[in-house]
C-alpha cells in the first residue's frame, strides 16, 4: 500500500505539477487525465495530473475554486545542506511565492512548505533542553532557516 498526497487546485494542476517537477531533482509527470464529456469540468481540460517529486508520488486535481490551501497542511523538505535550503527556498518563493516564518513559505499556488536544514531535528528534540531552547529562540527570529546560525545558538555562541 502506498499513500500519496492529493492536491486540489482550481484550474492550475498541470501548471503546478510542471512547476514542482522543474524544482526538485529526480521528478517527473507520470500521467495527465482529461475531463470527458458530461463531467464537472470542461470537456478535454485537465482533470488530474499524477507526478513524482524525488520518488514521492502526488496527485493534483483541477476541482474548481471551492477549496484552497491553508497552513493546516504543508510539505516538509529535509535538506542535506544549507545550499539546498537556499536553492529550494529561492525557487519556491520566486514568481509570487511568500516567505512566512520559521522555515515556512507559501509557493505561488498557495501551498505551504517547510524547508528544513540538516541537523534541525537533532537540535530541536535531542540532547540538552537548554541548547534546544536557544536554537528555538534563534529559529523564531528567522524566515529562511540558517543552519549555521541555529548551530551557533544551539552551542551557545
Integer Cα distance of 148 and 157 in angstroms: 11
Question: Total domain count for the chain?
Answer: 2
Q: List the end-to-end C-alpha distance of the chain, in Å, as a whole number.
A: 47
CATH code of the domain covering residue 115: 3.10.180.10
Q: 150 and 90: one domain? A: yes
Integer Cα distance of 157 and 151 in angstroms: 9
The per-residue pLDDT for 46 is 98
Residues linked to residue 116 through DSSP beta bridges, in sequence order: 78
The per-residue pLDDT for 11 is 97
- The pLDDT tens digits of the residues spanning 21-64 come to 999 999 999 999 999 999 988 999 999 999 999 999 999 999 99
Q: 84 and 153: one domain? A: yes
| pLDDT mean over 105-127 | 93
Q: 101 and 151: one domain? A: yes
| pLDDT mean over 131-153 | 96
Q: How confident is the model at residue 126 (pLDDT cuts 50, 70, 90)?
A: confident
Does the pLDDT of residue 113 top 80, yes or no? yes
Spell out the alpha helix ranges (H) of the chain: 13-23, 82-93, 120-125, 129-139, 147-155
Between helix 147-155 and helix 129-139 the angle, nearest 10°, is 140
The per-residue pLDDT for 137 is 96
- The pLDDT tens digits of the residues spanning 71-89 come to 999 999 999 999 999 999 9
Query: Residue with C-alpha cell 517529486?
Result: 53
Closest CA to 115 of 142, 84, 141: 84
The per-residue pLDDT for 109 is 98
For the chain, what percent of residues have pLDDT higher than 90?
A: 94
Whole domain around residue 111: which residue ranges?
69-157
Compute the C-alpha angle 85/72/69, nearest 5°: 85
Which parts of 4-141 are beta strand (E)? 6-9, 28-34, 46-53, 56-62, 74-78, 98-99, 104-106, 112-116
Q: 39 and 103: one domain? A: no
Amino acid at each position: 500500500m502506498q499513500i500519496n498526497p492529493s492536491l486540489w487546485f482550481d484550474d492550475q494542476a498541470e501548471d503546478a505539477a510542471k512547476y514542482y517537477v522543474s524544482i526538485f531533482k529526480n521528478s517527473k509527470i507520470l500521467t495527465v487525465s482529461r475531463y470527458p464529456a458530461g463531467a464537472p469540468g470542461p470537456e478535454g481540460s485537465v482533470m488530474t495530473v499524477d507526478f513524482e517529486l524525488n520518488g514521492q508520488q502526488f496527485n493534483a486535481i483541477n476541482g474548481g475554486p471551492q477549496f484552497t490551501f491553508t497552513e493546516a497542511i504543508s510539505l516538509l523538505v529535509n535538506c542535506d545542506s544549507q545550499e539546498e535550503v537556499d536553492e529550494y527556498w529561492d525557487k519556491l518563493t520566486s514568481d509570487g511565492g511568500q516567505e512566512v516564518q520559521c522555515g515556512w513559505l507559501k509557493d505561488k499556488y498557495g501551498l505551504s512548505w517547510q524547508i528544513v536544514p540538516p541537523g534541525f531535528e537533532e537540535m530541536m528534540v535531542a540532547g540538552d533542553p537548554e541548547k534546544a531552547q536557544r536554537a528555538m529562540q534563534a529559529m523564531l527570529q528567522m524566515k529562511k532557516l540558517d543552519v549555521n546560525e541555529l548551530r551557533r545558538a544551539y552551542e551557545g555562541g
